[in-house]
Amino acid sequence: MGPLEGVRIIELAGLGPAPHCCMLLADMGADVLRIDRTANVGLQGRMPDKYFTLNRGRPNLALDLKQPAGLETALKLCDQADILIEGFRPGVLERLGLDPDLLLTRNEKLVIGRATGWGQTGPISHTAGHDINYISLTGALAAIGPTDGPPVPPLNLVGDFGGGSLYLAMGVLAAYISAAKTGKGQVVDAAMVDGAASLMAPFFGTLAAGRWREDARGSNRIDGGSHFYSVYETKDGKYVSVGSIEPQFYALLQEFTGLTGDALYPQLDEDHWPENKARLAAVFRTKTQEEWVDIMQDTDICFAPVLSMSEAMAHPHNQARECFVEADGYGQPAPAPRFSATPGAVRQGAAGAGQHSRQALADWGYSDDEIADLERSGAIKQA
């Protein structure tokens, strides 16, 4: 059932890092209950529920927190939970009647994970934003992109997921371990701006050492500036990536491209990186992506074809490791990381709002009569 079997988590439905974090925890065996809004039950005009991959692995209870009976139900569920996860703006949880101080008074071991963009405090913490804005404030976005163009958003991987959900997951699990030892829960303030800044730690060190040119994006060793850590177009209009940083790997790159001896300027001669890149680009355009795979795949060049998502699911290595699984009738990433004794699993597909309202409450100890009363009052809604 996964390493988190027996851990009970309440998730207040939201977008971005909170559901991604809860997907990860559910994949690892946690008993996660997603509390959705009753207004979302049967909501039309959007993508079918099963394609909201981040919502997989956990039941969905539609609960009206604005009704006294709905709020009391949420409080009682939090009394039984080990972790509560929410992704609202600062102050919203309090306005809903789920003030962290109240929750910790009722359940002193509760861990409350709060995912926001700017954090719970700070001069702009109350304002709206998205991944692109949060990574803008950390130096991450400015460092990504070509020299002769604007910064390029790296999807929403760095803020929402790298700096958000992964730090949220690490934080709530660390606080859960602490609560198990001390008997005291706490609030985890997981801000995407904090996490994204933390991800940038090695680059701030390189900058301080005078080894990073922040005035010339795309001119550094691993931001596309060097010829030995870059992406090249192939004869068929596809791309390959090389990351031949170490001298022994760089020597192999020279050997398998035929650019040995004086064909290239010295590897670390930054002044001639553009010329070296142009020569490598010309060579890579002489063969198709598949031909370069045949030549380089089994070497230590540090090479890989640049694949689309569909191609990634079909790649032999990914298939051998079962990196993707079939769920809800389509391919999606498998649980990660992997555990030798307690492997994770996708236990169910993505649920729609209110799909499991009755069963979820029954699983958390509510009687049939209590569930019926809540449904009659409108505090819960079954899809």
Summarize pLDDT for 94-148 with one digit per residue, the tens: 999 999 999 999 999 999 999 999 999 999 999 999 999 999 999 999 999 999 9
Give the integer Cα–Cα distance in Å for 58 and 63. Answer: 15
Tens-digit pLDDT profile for residues 201-241: 999 999 999 999 999 999 999 999 999 999 999 999 999 99
Per-residue confidence band for 1, with pLDDT thresholds at 50, 70 and 90: confident
Give the integer Cα–Cα distance in Å for 330 and 317. Answer: 19
Going along the chain from its start, the domains and CATH numbers come out as: 8-199+324-381 (3.40.50.10540), 229-320 (3.30.1540.10)
> CA 282: distance to chain centroid?
36
Q: Tokens 């390493």: give the residue.
A: 3
**Phi, psi at residue 322, to the nearest 5°?**
55, 50
Give the integer Cα–Cα distance in Å for 112 and 100. Answer: 7
- 61 with 33: CB under 8 angstroms? yes
Per-residue confidence band for 46, with pLDDT thresholds at 50, 70 and 90: confident
- 51 with 368: CB under 8 angstroms? no
For residue 47 the two structure tokens come to 């993508």
For residue 371 the two structure tokens come to 């569930």
Q: Is 325 helix (H, G, I), strand (E, B) or coil?
A: strand
Residue 20 bears catalytic tag: no
Counting residues of the chain whose pLDDT is more than 70, the rounded percentage is 100
- 328 with 50: CB under 8 angstroms? yes
Residue 113 host element (H or E): strand 111-116
Catalytic residue from among 27, 160, 194, 223:
160
Q: At what angle do helices 192-199 and 201-208 cross, to 10 degrees?
A: 50
Catalytic residue from among 130, 272, 315, 328:
130
- 344 with 28: CB under 8 angstroms? yes
Cα→Cα distances 245→199, 251, 293, Å: 21, 10, 19
Tens-digit pLDDT profile for residues 309-341: 999 999 999 999 999 999 999 999 999 999 999
**Residue 278 identity:** A
- 22 with 58: CB under 8 angstroms? yes
DSSP strands (E only) in 5-110: 8-12, 31-36, 60-63, 83-86
Residue 160 bears catalytic tag: yes
> Whats the size of the chain, residue-wise?
383
381, β-bridge pairs: 62
- 103 with 76: CB under 8 angstroms? no
For residue 213 the two structure tokens come to 């040119």
